Every structure is written in structure tokens, then in C-alpha cells.
Amino acid sequence: MFDTSTKATLRNTVQQYLAEAEKSLESPVVDNEQIRQEIKQLLKQKNAVLVAHYYTDDAIQELAEETGGVIADSLEMARFGANHEAQTLVVAGVKFMGETAKILSPEKTILMPTLEATCSLDIGCPIDEFSAFCDQHPDRTVVVYANTSAAVKARADWVVTSSIALDVVNHLVDQGEKIIWAPDQHLGGYIQRETGADMILWDGACIVHEEFKAKGILDLKAIYPDAAVLVHPESPESVVEVADVVGSTSQLLKASKSMPNSTYIVATDRGIFYKMKQASPDKRFVEAPTAGSGANCRSCAHCPWMALNSLELLRNSLRDTSGQIEVSDVLREKALIPLQRMLNFNKA
């Protein structure tokens, strides 16, 4: 699908962004009660609400709950914001989440603690290359993961989250459609195996989930033989094969609540542990191990870009109206079509 040069260029771009994120994390983080109180006051003054992703740090998630905000996956973050009366949405997550919120709530001000918080899936699927690839396969329906830029969404026929991807693709299979899938090759491969769909996969990957290793999980199972293994489908096939449950963040959270096991080995970003432990304080949650050339001190089970969301930057964004997300009307209208298609499908 890609030549060696294109693959190398995309991977180098991801690594450059990662290096910049890690450099930012070296700065001291001021995380104290004074800033928390400032944020609470600013949220009231600015008629704002905090929407946080499951993968942000505990302090951000805790504050979202305390102030009447929400902790959710990217789609539910945007949907919550669209239905909330607040005029300003503060999106603690990565940039494509802010863009999705703006697409669904164009009349609202969308702020982010930092616009430097991006995503390896987004970076690895640049619009020019992706659009040219789609043009080579005009007979295929274009389905893209939510972890993409507004421009890539605008080029798609469907946008899906991991929680609804299987249902949408099964529907398309029933319609006799052939599919282009982007950008996560592992999630795409999982969907392809589960549905039998005729799919061409873009060669992207999440830097966190790609580093989980089946051997490491099996080694942990030897230590915790009664543990249930919970795996996000952005993980490699070998990791998915050893899972007891494969699902989106919300699906894994639900499984950790409902299953009888006392211990869980979790192969997704460790930010989800905040809600898992909150819902099941008597259960044990163990990080699935990572290894490989892409692993480092911040990407081992935690997204370095999610980690950029600090209380200090959140306070600054609200105070200064900085980190504002803008999406042009033309792009928003195009990207809204596949997003709305998913929302309508989810209601059906």
C-alpha cells in the first residue's frame, strides 16, 4: 500500500512530534489547590464546562467531575458539549477532539489547555496523502476513525469510534460495500477479522497501544492466573488474541465493573484506571507491559500528548481564552456529514 519512503516519512514525523511533547513534559508542573480553585471560579465566570478524556491525568478527570463536566471518550465528549448549556467548552484531550467538538458545536467557543496535544494516528494520516490514496480507489467507501483531523473526516463517507466501528462496518458489508479504513491498522485489522469485510487499511498506529506485547501479558497471567485481560482493539493482533474482552474505553470500563474477577490486566492507556478504580475500589488493575523501540518513559501505557494537559495550562486557557479551536465553515460542513451519519446510525 505504501512505499518504503512514505512509511519512513510518516514515522519520522510522528517521532518528531513525540520528541516535542516529551520536551514540554520536562517543564515543572504546578498542580496545587490554588490553581484548582482558580479554574473553578473561571469556569463559572466564563459560562464554561470541562470535558475530559479518559486518558487525561487523574487531576484533570477529578476536576471535571467536581465542576459538573464529564469524563468520556471522544464522541461522548463532543456530544455532551453540544447538549450542555455552557457557551464555552474546555476540551482536555488531544486536538482532534477539540475539532470534533467545534464541528458539532460551531456556535460555541472551544478551548484546549494546549494545541500541542496531538495524536500519532492524526499525524500519521496527512490529508494530501490520504486524499490521493482514496482517489486511487474510487469504488470504495471511506471509513475513518474519530482519531483524525477535521480535513480527513471531511474526505470520508463515515466517521466511527471504536465502540461503534464493528456495527457500522457490518452494516456496510450487508450493503455490499468495499472499504478504505484509516488510520489505525490494528483496529482496522481487528474489524476486518471480525466482519469479513473487504478492507484496505491505512498504515497508522497508536504509539501507546502498538507497544503492548502478548508475551508480557502472558507473563503477568502467570503471576495473576485469575486475572481478566482487557484489551483495546488499537493493540496488535497478537495482543487481541490473548484478551478476555476486546473493546473501546467505555466498553472496557463497563467490563471491569460487571465481571466477577478481582484482578484485571489492562492493555490501554493507564488514564482509564482513574474511572476503573473509582467504580471498583476493591479490584486490582495492572498495566499491561510494553516494550520495543517506540516505548519510552511517557508512552509506556500513557499518551505523552494527553499528559500535556495540566491544571496550569487549563487555568491559563480559561483565563486568557487561549488554545482556541477554529474550523472553517466549509471544512466544518463537509466533516459534519460523516459525523452526523454515525450519530444517526447510533440512534437507529
The tens digit of pLDDT for each residue in 242-255 reads: 999 999 999 999 99
Tell me how far apart the alpha carbons of residues 54 and 247 are, in angstroms, rounded to a whole number. 14
Whether 227 contacts 202, CB under 8 Å: no
pLDDT of residue 111: 99
* Statement to judge: residues 72 and 27 lie in one domain: yes
Burial of 223 (C-beta count, 10 Å sphere; 0-12/13-18/19+): exposed
- My answer on whether 281 and 197 are in the same domain is no
Query: What's the pLDDT tens digit per position in 70-90?
Result: 999 987 998 899 999 999 999
CATH of the domain at 220: 3.40.50.10800
pLDDT of 220 strictly over 80: yes
What pLDDT shows up at residue 346? 76
Say which DSSP state 269 is in. -
| Per-residue model confidence (pLDDT) at position 45 | 98
Do 321 and 342 lie in a common domain? no
pLDDT value at 293 more than 60: no
**Based on the domain organization, do 25 and 96 belong to the same domain?**
yes
Is the per-residue pLDDT at 29 higher than 60?
no
The reply to whether 37 falls in a domain is yes
pLDDT above 80 for 139: yes
Together in a domain, 214 and 274: yes
Q: Rounded to whole angstroms, how far apart are CA atoms 188 and 233?
A: 9
Q: Taking residues 182-208, what's their average pLDDT?
A: 98
Mean pLDDT value across residues 31-38 = 88
Select the more confidently predicted residue: 290 or 167.
Answer: 167
Lowest mean pLDDT among 64-68, 133-137, 140-144, 343-347: 343-347
Quote the pLDDT of residue 74: 83
Domain assignment present for 125: yes
Residue 2 lies in a domain: no
- Considering its fold, how many domains does the chain have in total? 3
pTM over 0.75: yes
Which residues constitute the domain of residue 274? 209-287
Residues 200 and 342 in one domain: yes
Average pLDDT taken over every residue of the chain: 91
In a domain, 243, yes or no: yes
- Give 217's pLDDT tier (boundaries 50, 70, 90): very high
Residue 16 and residue 114 share a domain: yes
Q: Is the pLDDT of residue 294 over 50?
A: no
How many other β-carbons are positioned within 10 Å of the β-carbon of residue 135? Answer: 9
What does the alpha-carbon distance between residue 280 and residue 253 come to, in Å, rounded to a whole number? 10
The answer to whether position 300 is within a domain reads no
**Percent residues over pLDDT 70 in the chain:** 88
Are 90 and 71 members of one domain?
A: yes
In a domain, 49, yes or no: yes
pLDDT at 205: 96
Give the per-residue pLDDT at 297.
40
Cα 285 to Cα 36, 78, 154, 344: the distances in Å are 28, 28, 38, 35
Instruction: Please give the Cα distance from 346 to 348 (Å, whole number).
Output: 6
pLDDT tops 50 at residue 299: no
- Same-domain status, 194 and 217: no
Domain assignment present for residue 297? The answer is: no
What's the confidence (pLDDT) of residue 30?
Answer: 55
Report, in this order, helix, strand and coil percent for the chain, each rounded to 5: 50, 15, 35
Same domain, residue pair 89 and 153: no
User: Would the pLDDT of 296 be above 80?
Assistant: no
pLDDT at 295 over 80: no
Q: What percent of the chain has pLDDT over 90?
A: 84
- Same domain membership, residue 283 and residue 227: yes
Residue 293 resides in a domain: no
- The answer to whether residues 41 and 98 belong to one domain is yes
Minimal CA–CA distance to 69: which of 37, 44, 94, 45? Answer: 44
Whether 123 shows a pLDDT value over 60: the answer reads yes
